[in-house]
Amino acid sequence: MSLIVQKYGGTSVGSAERIRNVARRILDSHEAGDQIVAVVSAMSGVTNRLIELSEEVTGKTQNATEREMDVLLSTGEQTTIALISMAINSMGGKAVSLTGAQAGIQTDGVHTKARISNITPDEVHRLLNDGNIVILAGFQGRSPEGYITTLGRGGSDLTAIAMAAAVDAELCQIYTDVKGVYTCDPRVVKTAQKIEEISYDEMLEMASSGSKVMQSRSVEFAKKFGVRFEVRSSLNQQPGTLVLEETMSMESVVIRGISLERDQAKITIEGVRDQPGTAAKVFTSIAGANIIVDMIVQNVSKTGTTDISFTVGQADLANAEKTLNAVLPDIGEDVSLVSQEGIAKLSVVGIGMRSHSGVASQMFDTLSKAGINIQMISTSEIKITVTVGNDEIDDAARAVHSAFGLDDESAD
C-alpha cells in the first residue's frame, strides 16, 4: 500500500459531472489499494468570480483588505472539497474533507500570498489510518494568529507538493487538462510530443520562459524537498510527464523542450555613461515600478558611453518608458531611449547542453536557414534564448524543434 497525493485543478472539477468523474477516479485509486490524499482547486471560474464580487461591493475605489480576500477566496476550494467528498460517499466510498487549517498547514501571516512555514499532518494520518480518503482544500492555510491565509494564484499545486513532502508520499500526481509537459506548444508545433521525464531545473526553465503548466513556486518547492511528481490528464488513464531529480541518462538528450513567449518588447538606452552605478540606476528605477525585466545586454564602450538593451513584457512597456525617462538625465549627457514592440522569445532548454557542444551554433544556423533574424541572445547553463519577431516565432519554433530531433515521427 502506498500513499499518493493527487491534485485536481479547477477545470477538472469544473461542473457537477466533472466532480463525479474526479470522485470516481479517486475512489478507483483507493480501491486499487493505495491511501489517497486528494487536493482540489476551486471549480474553474469561481476564484475569478469571487474577485469580481469583491470589486463590486467595494466599488473598486477602496480595495478589500487582504485578510478578507483570503476569507472570501478560500471558500472556492471549500465548496469543492465538500462536493467531492459527498460524491465519493454517495458512490459507497469513505471520504472526509479538510480545510488547509484542519490539515495542519501553517503559513506566515502575509495574506493573499502566504508562504507555508510548517505542516503538522497528524489529522491527515489519523483519517487515512482509519481507512478514509482525505479530500484537502488547496491554496490555503492558517496564519500564526489562526486566520485563514491563501498561497497566491495557482497555489493548489503548492498545497499538493508540500503535503506530499510532509506525509512522505510515494508520488504526487498533478491532474490537469493537458496530457503532460510537451516538447513545445502543440498548438504551434503539431509534431510536439509529450516528455516522459524532465528534471526540476528543466521544468523551472521551461516555466520561466513561457510553458506554464505549473506554478513555478511549486516546482521550486518540489526540487528543494525532492518530491517527484507527475503532470497528467484527468480525462484519460495515460501516464503523463514525470518531474524529478536529474539522472545520468537525462544528459544524453541535448534539448528537452522549446518554450515560447510572445508579446515582449525591447528597450535600448543609447549613450549611457560607462561608469559604476549607471546600470544600477536604470534597473533600480525599473524594479521600483514593479516591472520584470529579462535578457539584459550591455555593449562594450568605445567612447566612454555604451548601450544597454533589455526586454520587458509588452504590457509593461509604456510604464517602463515613463519610469526611464525620469532617470535619463542622471545617466549620461546625450542619452536616448529606443523601444520596439512585437517581439517574441524562443528558448531551447536541456541539461544535456552542459555536456554537448555546438548547441548554440546549430540553433543559430537553423534560424538563419529559415531566414529568421535573431535580435538578442542570452544563455544560462541549460538554456539558450533568442528574440525574434512575433510574426516569425511559429516558423522559428517548428524549424528548431525539427533540427533538434524533437519531432514525433508518427504525427503529421
Given the rule CB under 6 A, which residues bind ligand ASP?
Answer: 10, 41-42, 47, 76, 138-139, 153-156
2: Cβ–Cβ under 8 A, 6 or more apart, which residues? 34, 35, 169, 170, 171
Which one, 45 or 358, has the nearer CB to ligand ASP? 45
Give the type of residue at 181: V
Give the 3-state secondary structure of residue 41: coil
Percent of the chain that is helix, strand, coil (3-state, to 5): 40, 25, 35
Closest to ligand ASP by CB, 154 vs 350, is 154
What, of ligand ASP, Mg ion, none, does residue 240 touch, CB below 5 to 8 Å by kind? none
Site for Mg ion in 41-60 (CB under 5 A): 41
**Considering CB under 5 A, how many residues would be counted as binding Mg ion?**
3
| Residues 180, 202: Cα–Cα separation, whole Å | 14
Q: Taking CB within 5 to 8 Å according to partner kind, which of ligand ASP, Mg ion, none is near residue 183?
A: none
Our CB check for ligand ASP shows the closer of 14 and 121 to be 14
Question: With binding defined as CB under 5 A, does residue 10 bind Mg ion?
Answer: yes
Give the side-chain half-sphere CA count within 13 A for 121: 19
Q: How far is the CB of 137 from ligand ASP (least distance, A)?
A: 10
CB of 9 to Mg ion, least distance (A): 5
Stretch that binds Mg ion, among 34-42, 255-263, 319-327, 380-388 (CB under 5 A): 34-42
Query: Nearer Cβ to ligand ASP, position 22 or 388?
Result: 22
- Name the one residue in this structure whose C-alpha cell is 515613463: 322
Q: Nearer to ligand ASP by C-beta: 10 or 332? A: 10
Q: How far is the CB of 42 from ligand ASP (least distance, A)?
A: 4
Task: Choose the stretch contacting Mg ion; rule: CB under 5 A; options: 40-48, 235-243, 272-280, 376-384.
Answer: 40-48
Least distance between ligand ASP and beta carbon 76 (Å)? 5
Residue 277's φ and ψ, nearest 5 degrees, are 100, -15
Among Mg ion, ligand ASP, none, partner that 399 touches (CB below 5 to 8 angstroms by kind): none
- C-beta of residue 188 within 8 angstroms of C-beta of residue 402: no
C-beta of 51 vs 374, nearer to ligand ASP: 51
Q: Select from 9-17, 111-119, 178-186, 189-197 the region that touches Mg ion (CB under 5 A).
A: 9-17
- Alpha carbon distance 118, 189 (integer Å): 42
**Residue 234 C-beta: closest distance to Mg ion, Å:** 12
Q: How far is the CB of 154 from Mg ion (least distance, A)?
A: 5
Report the side by side order of strands in the sheet with 197-199. Answer: 95-98, 133-137, 35-40, 3-8, 171-176, 229-233, 241-244, 197-199
Q: How many CB atoms lie within 10 A of CB 275?
A: 12
Cell of residue 117, nine digits: 512555514
Q: Which residue, 41 or 305, has its beta carbon nearer to Mg ion?
A: 41
Tell me if 243 sits within 8 A of 198, measured CB to CB: yes
At its nearest, how many Å lie between Mg ion and the CB of residue 328? 41
Q: What is the DSSP string of 380-410?
A: ETTEEEEEEEGGGHHHHHHHHHHHTT---TT
CB 174 within 8 A of CB 233: no
Shortest distance in whole angstroms from residue 153 CB to Mg ion: 7
Phi and psi, residue 39, nearest 5° = -95, 130
- When CB distances are held under 5 to 8 angstroms depending on the partner's kind, the choice from Mg ion, ligand ASP, none that residue 139 binds is ligand ASP
> Which of ligand ASP, Mg ion, none binds 332 (CB below 5-8 Å, type-dependent)?
none
Nearer to ligand ASP, 114 or 344 (CB): 114
- Residue 42 interacting partner from Mg ion, ligand ASP, none (CB closer than 5 to 8 Å by kind): ligand ASP
Binds 155, which of ligand ASP, Mg ion, none (CB < 5 to 8 A, cut-off by type)?
ligand ASP
Residues 84, 43: contact at Cβ < 8 Å? no
**Is 138 near Mg ion (CB under 5 A)?**
no
Q: Say whether 153 sits in a helix, a strand or coil.
A: coil
Q: Which is nearer to Mg ion, 11 or 387 (CB)?
A: 11
Would you state the cell numbers that stand for residue 184, as one nine-digit string? Answer: 513545445
Nearer to ligand ASP, 173 or 314 (CB): 173
* Residue 116 Cα distances to 136, 147, 152, 160, angstroms: 15, 14, 11, 12
Whose CB is nearest to Mg ion?
A: 10
Cα–Cα distance for residue pair 25/88, rounded to 1 Å = 10
DSSP 186-197: TTT-TT--B-SE
Chain contacts with Mg ion (rule: CB under 5 A): 9-10, 41
